[in-house]
């Protein structure tokens, strides 16, 4: 499918929120996306006609729910190029990252540090800070350059055979920068370090093939890619998921329990203790179906067209973006002497939703020397008219503060 402005308008009709709020200009897709009717229906259909607990009942209804839930794991595996049983469902990318950090506690011998990047979201920073404390490791950060891209020379220097884990975002939620995670993961592999890619934006805004990236782990959230909240994914190489210890214990994750001890179930069940978000998992599969139909390459291209149009039309703002070809459809900006919250509030008066703040990247904002930025982030249903409204709102903000 080729997405252009008229196609985007057509796609918009699949999203009920745009008919219930006619004037809505939704440009906060990096925070969460809107949901197509098919996804919303999948949730209610499950409860209306397939509701039963999974992996338990011998009756048809339970088997059907189990099959659907397992099929949605397959759908995800297929979407990111993972092998069989290499995908674990979680609540969100944050939980996926925490799962890995707990799973490898006390397993590193002769390692001194963890390498992250300066542009990480708190969710790919705070778990590692805690991991570093628990495991007596030091944190090192790959530098972000003036042009808002990663300093790969610095990455080569910092990732050494003393590095236990390298964790980096695929696409920065604050800057839009698309990182060369393939290169980072290959540096990690050469140094004998584990690699984890935070794909919260990556899986939503680009075509992902985990085998080609060569990462050990890839984490993402369903709600940032048309799926329901409370759905997340952890991809892990099979042998690593097998080696990794679970941190959530209980039903479904065991194969055998005695009064004294227990043995773990196979993957993914080993990491999915308790009754999971069954309806959410099934609806996530529906969301991926929708994205596949649109085509991730087409989405990337359309976001790039929107970004180009926004860059050209947003003249009087300071942009925190590496530029076309290096960025996904995420554009952080500031108006001179106007706080990002005020920009967001004035835009809200025009029903334009953008984010204003630190984007859960406080250390990065400090490095940039700002309290925060305003951020517009695009998705397949956004149009040039949405950006016109954004520009109009920015001009308005400028007028309000210059009068």
Which DSSP letter does residue 237 get?
Answer: -
Query: First CA to last CA across the chain, in angstroms?
Result: 46
The interface with other proteins within residues 322-351 (CB under 8 A) comprises: 338-342, 345-346, 349-350
**Can you tell me which of 365, 368, 376, 389 binds other proteins, judged by CB under 8 A?**
365
Is the CB of 227 or the CB of 357 nearer to other proteins? 357
**How many CB atoms are closer than 10 A to CB 4?**
14
What is the C-alpha to C-alpha distance for residues 304 and 322, in angstroms, rounded to an integer? 13
Which DSSP letter does residue 46 get?
Answer: I
- Is 121 one of the binding residues for other proteins (CB under 8 A)? no
In degrees and rounded to multiples of 5, residue 350 shows phi and psi of -100, 15
Is the CB of 284 or the CB of 344 nearer to other proteins? 344
Which DSSP letter does residue 251 get?
Answer: T
What is the C-alpha to C-alpha distance for residues 122 and 124, in angstroms, rounded to an integer? 5
Is the CB of 315 or the CB of 403 nearer to other proteins? 403
In angstroms, what is the minimal distance from the CB of 85 to other proteins?
Answer: 39
**Can you tell me which of 356, 379, 381, 383 binds other proteins, judged by CB under 8 A?**
356
**Can you tell me which of 236, 246, 280, 357 binds other proteins, judged by CB under 8 A?**
357
Decide if 360 is catalytic: yes
- Is 401 one of the binding residues for other proteins (CB under 8 A)? yes
Angle, helices 37-45/278-294, rounded to nearest 10 degrees: 150
- Is 319 one of the binding residues for other proteins (CB under 8 A)? no
Size of residue set near other proteins by CB under 8 A: 20
Of the residues 185, 215, 353, 360, which is catalytic? Answer: 360
Verify cis geometry, omega within 30 degrees of 0, for the bond prior to 262: no
Is the CB of 119 or the CB of 283 nearer to other proteins? 119
User: Exposed, middle or buried, 182 (CB in 10 Å: 0-12/13-18/19+)?
Assistant: middle
Residue ranges that bind other proteins, judged by CB under 8 A? 338-342, 345-346, 349-350, 356-358, 362, 365, 371-372, 396, 400-401, 403
């Amino acid at each position: 499918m080729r997405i252009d402005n008229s196609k985007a308008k057509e796609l918009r009709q699949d999203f009920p929120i745009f008919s219930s709020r006619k004037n809505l200009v939704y440009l906060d897709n990096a925070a969460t996306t809107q949901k197509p009717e098919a996804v919303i229906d999948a949730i209610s259909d499950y409860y209306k006609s397939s509701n039963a607990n999974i992996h338990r009942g011998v009756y048809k209804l339970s088997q059907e729910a189990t099959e659907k839930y397992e099929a949605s794991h397959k759908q995800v595996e297929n979407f990111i190029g993972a092998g069989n049983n290499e995908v674990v469902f979680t609540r969100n990318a944050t939980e996926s990252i925490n799962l890995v950090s707990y799973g490898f506690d006390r397993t590193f011998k002769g390692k001194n540090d963890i390498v992250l990047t300066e542009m990480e979201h708190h969710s790919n920073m705070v778990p590692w800070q805690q991991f570093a404390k628990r495991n007596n490791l030091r944190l090192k950060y790959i530098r972000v350059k003036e042009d808002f891209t990663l300093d790969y020379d610095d990455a080569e220097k910092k990732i050494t055979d003393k590095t236990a884990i390298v964790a980096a975002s695929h696409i920065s939620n604050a800057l839009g920068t698309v990182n060369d995670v393939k290169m980072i993961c290959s540096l990690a592999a050469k140094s004998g370090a584990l690699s984890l890619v935070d794909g919260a934006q990556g899986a939503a805004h680009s075509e992902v093939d985990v085998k080609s990236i060569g990462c050990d782990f890839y984490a993402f959230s369903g709600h940032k890619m048309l799926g329901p909240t409370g759905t997340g994914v952890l991809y892990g190489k099979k042998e690593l998921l097998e080696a990794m210890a679970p941190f959530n214990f209980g039903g479904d994750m065991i194969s055998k329990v005695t009064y004294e001890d227990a043995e773990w179930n196979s993957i993914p069940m080993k990491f999915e203790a308790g009754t999971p978000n069954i309806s959410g998992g099934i609806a996530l599969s529906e969301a991926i179906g929708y994205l596949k139909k649109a085509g991730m390459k087409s989405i990337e291209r359309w976001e790039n067209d929107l970004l180009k149009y926004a860059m050209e039309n947003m003249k009087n703002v300071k942009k925190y973006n590496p530029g076309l070809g290096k960025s996904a459809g995420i554009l952080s900006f500031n108006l001179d002497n106007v706080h990002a919250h005020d920009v967001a509030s004035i835009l809200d008066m025009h029903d334009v939703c953008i984010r204003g703040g630190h984007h859960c990247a406080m250390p990065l904002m400090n490095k940039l020397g700002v309290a925060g930025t305003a951020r517009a982030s695009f998705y397949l249903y956004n149009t040039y008219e949405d950006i016109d409204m954004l520009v109009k709102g920015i001009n308005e903000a400028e007028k309000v503060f210059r009068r």
